[in-house]
A and B are shown apart, each in its own frame.
Chain A
């Protein structure tokens, strides 16, 4: 890449350098820095308002009505690092590295402080140190809040007895129930970015086919969380940037025929 400014920009560049240097030098230290290497500071975060959690239902397909079964989250929590050691699946697509990570390992909780039971797809491109989390996630099970949700969708969390709002066992008798979501691996408004997609499904679903435009583009072996080897199964996969829909065939362990074929529209 040519980083040399055009000739007519040279004078402007020099002026900008002088401006920025002169302005910067007006800032002096107020004396908070330690004076010796023997001083071990403890870097407390500046006081700030309580973390704001803004979970928006987006790009989600839910088999139940109102609950936060799949979501994209933009959270006011600084990313210190992506806990890749907790990843259940990982991949790299068109230069985008991504991981499927339990929400608990990321630290995402409901308003009562209970970790979401599901998983989130984390792209390195949109989750840099210092940024806010920008992930897509999915949970599994009956959302207990649906039982109390009024028609306007306003949920009430009772934190006197903090618990997860997802009852996974309620879906144990029906392998056709699942949740699917997706998010861009790159910037959310970048039409050239491939999609990262994720699904949560019944413990008997060990494999899924990913179908785009009638062609099976991937077959995914589903995974469980490491501490729940017989529990809910999850899958992460990618969809081309220009795809408008994708279809999943969920293959149960005890049958060769799909238990469900589910089409998701993403464009």
Chain B
């Protein structure tokens, strides 16, 4: 059994980065990760694949948080990388719906298959594929 402090030490940064890509906010990403670990700690011994579990919690909480807030999609006003084409593309990603954004991030950043993404998001794989196709259509226009 991998100890929680070891998983925290080895994966905290990568999970925050995942949260940031999903929310566009480092503060919110750090909250998501902290909340995920806090929720997992009391029953750590029951979790078979802690990193996969934490990732699922973060993805789903990121979606829920945005639905709760009834807010517009995050849109950073400041350049992040100061590489225009990168910043513009990321801004376009943040314009996607939370579901499409999650699919894009999980597929192109986490390199997960659509079947694995379907499991995380609890959507049929065919629906995930439609989400991805719609997202790519939007992004293709945005970056062209």
Chain A interfacial positions (CB closer than 8 Å to B): 1, 3, 5, 9, 12-13, 15-30, 32-35, 37, 39-46, 76, 78, 80-81, 125-126, 128-132
Contacts and interface: CB of A to CB of B under 8 A. Distances in A.
A37 B42 CA distance: 18
Q: Sorted from nearest, which 3 A-B pairs have the closest CB atoms?
A: A130-B57, A24-B17, A43-B38
B38 A45 contact: yes
B105 interface: yes
Contact of A45 (B34, B56, B83): B34
Interface residues of B, number: 59
Nearest to A38: B5
Contact of B86 (A18, A28, A45, A78): A18
Nearest to B121: A128
Given A20-B109, A27-B17, A37-B6, A131 B34 contact: no
Interface of B: 3-6, 8-9, 12-13, 16-18, 20-21, 26, 29-31, 34-43, 46, 53, 56-61, 64, 68, 80-81, 83, 85-86, 89-90, 93, 104-105, 108-109, 113-115, 122, 125, 129, 136, 139-140, 143
A33 B9 contact: yes
A83 B83 CA distance: 48
Given A23-B81, A26-B81, A128-B122, 6 more contacts: A1-B125, A16-B104, A20-B105, A33-B12, A43-B37, A128-B60
Given A13-B108, A129-B56, A27 B6 contact: no
B13 A43 contact: no
Contact of B36 (A17, A42, A130): A130
Nearest to B6: A37
Given A27-B26, A130-B60, A125 B122 contact: yes
Contacts of B93: 16, 19-20
A130 B114 contact: no
Nearest to A45: B38
Contacts of A5: 136
A34 B9 contact: yes
Nearest to B44: A43
Contacts of A32: 12, 30
